[in-house]
Amino acid sequence: MQAVEATPIERELILSVHTPRYLDLLDKLSGLDRTVRLDNDTYANPWSYEIARLSAGGTIRAVDAVASGTVNTALGAVRPPGHHAMPDHGMGFCLLGNIALAARYAQQQYGLRRILIVDYDVHHGNGTEAIFYGDPSVLFISTHQQGIYPGTGAINDTGVGKGVGFNINVPLMGGHGDASYAAIFEQIVWPAAIRFEPELILVSAGFDAHWDDPLAGIHLSLSGYAHLTRELVHMANQLCGGKIAFIVEGGYNLDVLSEGVANIA
Ligand code: ZN
């Protein structure tokens, strides 16, 4: 493995996804001397914005490493996560939309026209969905447990305007596991990816769909996760010259999180 150092993402690039008003708020938090709550489960202390800029910046460096051809596969081992961050507010432990920013960066910096984002975190990637909902240049596919946080991700939410058909939600009842996910990848993710012909694949790699995660009730095993990873790498090899970056999202059993991430590497 080659280590790539994270550098803070530039404000200019953050504005490709987030509103100036929200960034001004995050700036202000950096000047305070206490921790504040942005909502029930999203807090920020005076260092949070700086760290969020490193997290998004590390994700950008992962895209650089892949898009420039330095490596085929990259892993963004970043915190905080990003897939719940909305354009104008933080949500669900997320301040900046790491993977959305990475997709926008790949489009601006490398001229990529079609980017596939697969989100197998157990929660719906509502921020990523919102950012690309009307955008056919990014195909977003999310598998998630229905009825848990954040409550979005219905199967008939397929996009708006030119983006219709480029947003695929696969909500699942608790109890689904390796066999269900393997079938979903075979019957939904693969055909959609082949039709879309992505030039880069980005993965919101959350490990909270594991059976022992305290926040959810999906029953993936580490082997099941490893299978999904292999499928995605195989997909990248077949469709876009192997270019794929995994960006860490949730995962609340820390042993599972570390093993899951190690399996990607
Ligand atoms: Zn999650």
Measured CA to CA, the distance from residue 55 to residue 49 in angstroms comes to: 10
Alpha helices in the chain (DSSP H): 11-14, 20-30, 48-67, 98-110, 126-132, 178-184, 190-196, 222-239, 254-264
> What is the Å distance from ligand 1's center to 206 Cα?
6
Please, what's the largest Cα pairwise distance for the chain? 51
Measured CA to CA, the distance from residue 240 to residue 251 in angstroms comes to: 28
Q: What is the pLDDT of residues 123-166, one digit of tens each?
A: 999 999 999 999 999 999 999 999 999 999 999 999 999 999 99
> What is the Å distance from ligand 1's center to 69 Cα?
30
Measured CA to CA, the distance from residue 254 to residue 227 in angstroms comes to: 20
265 falls in which pLDDT band (50, 70, 90)? confident
> What is the Å distance from ligand 1's center to 204 Cα?
9
16 falls in which pLDDT band (50, 70, 90)? very high
Measured CA to CA, the distance from residue 45 to residue 139 in angstroms comes to: 34
53 falls in which pLDDT band (50, 70, 90)? very high
State which residues have CB under 5 angstroms from ligand 1, the bound ion.
Answer: 121, 123, 206, 208, 250
* Long-range CB pairs of 149-153, under 8 A, 24+ apart, other chains included: 149/41, 149/92, 149/123, 149/215, 150/84, 150/91, 150/92, 150/123, 150/124, 150/126, 151/124, 152/124, 152/126, 153/124, 153/125, 153/126, 153/129
Percent share of the chain, pLDDT over 70: 100
Residues carrying an active site annotation: 84
Q: What is the pLDDT of residues 214-252, one digit of tens each?
A: 999 999 999 999 999 999 999 999 999 999 999 999 999
The pLDDT of residue 71 = 94
Q: What number is the average pLDDT over the span 1-26?
A: 96
pTM of the model: 0.98
> What is the Å distance from ligand 1's center to 257 Cα?
11
Q: Is the pLDDT of residue 41 over 90?
A: no
Q: What is the pLDDT of residues 174-227, one digit of tens each?
A: 999 999 999 999 999 999 999 999 999 999 999 999 999 999 999 999 999 999
Backbone φ/ψ region at 197: left (φ over 0), alpha (ψ -120 to 50), beta: left
User: Average per-residue pLDDT in the chain?
Assistant: 97
